[in-house]
């Protein structure tokens, strides 16, 4: 078993500008249907939540990529951020060999200007 961590931070304005300039093309390339539904439910605060999910995907990518044979085959939507009934976020992975990962824990925070995420992954050593 191996522990991998990943972290990321982003200015919320960068995501806001991408959404305003590129609209659905950007949203549908980066975020899953569930993520869009969650963020849109936050109305005026939605950019914080989109930015947080963007950083979460980057953080997961940092943690998993070194253990994948072809890290550039991962797409944004292969990493999905959901929230449980208490609001705690968790990660769903698609199109990635699940056997590699024993456990993934994610933590997210955002304020007016920045969003950040940290991930800790327990990885099975298959090779």
Q: Does 49 bind ligand COA (CB under 6 A)?
A: yes
Q: Does 83 bind ligand COA (CB under 6 A)?
A: yes
19: helix, coil or strand? helix
Q: Count CB neighbours of 30 within 10 A.
A: 20
Residue 126, Cβ density class (10 Å: 0-12 exposed, 13-18 middle, ≥19 buried): exposed
Interface of this chain with ligand COA, residues 51 to 80, rule: CB under 6 A = 52
Q: Does 44 bind ligand COA (CB under 6 A)?
A: no
Helix/strand/coil percent split, the chain, to 5: 45, 30, 25
Q: Which two tokens stand for residue 123?
A: 């990885």
- Nearest residue (CB) to ligand COA, 63 versus 108: 108
Please report how close the Cβ of residue 122 comes to ligand COA at its closest, in angstroms: 18
Cβ–Cβ under 8 Å, residues 114 and 12: yes
Q: Does 109 bind ligand COA (CB under 6 A)?
A: yes
Residue facing ligand COA at closest CB distance: 87
Q: Does 88 bind ligand COA (CB under 6 A)?
A: yes
Q: Which two tokens stand for residue 94?
A: 């698609």
Please report how close the Cβ of residue 121 comes to ligand COA at its closest, in angstroms: 17
Please report how close the Cβ of residue 87 comes to ligand COA at its closest, in angstroms: 3
Binding stretches for ligand COA (CB under 6 A):
49, 52, 83, 86-89, 108-110
């Amino acid at each position: 078993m191996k522990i991998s961590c990943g972290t990321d931070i982003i200015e919320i304005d960068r995501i806001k500008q991408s959404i305003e300039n590129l609209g659905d093309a950007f949203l549908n390339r980066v975020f899953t249907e569930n993520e869009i539904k969650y963020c849109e439910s936050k109305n005026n605060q939605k950019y914080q939540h989109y930015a947080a999910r963007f950083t979460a995907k980057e953080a997961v990518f940092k943690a998993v990529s070194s253990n994948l044979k072809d890290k550039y085959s991962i797409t944004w939507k292969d990493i999905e951020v959901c929230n449980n009934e208490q609001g705690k976020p968790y990660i769903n992975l698609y199109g990635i060999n699940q056997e590699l990962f024993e456990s993934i824990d994610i933590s997210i925070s955002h304020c007016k200007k920045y969003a950040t995420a940290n991930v800790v992954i327990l990885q099975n050593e298959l090779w």
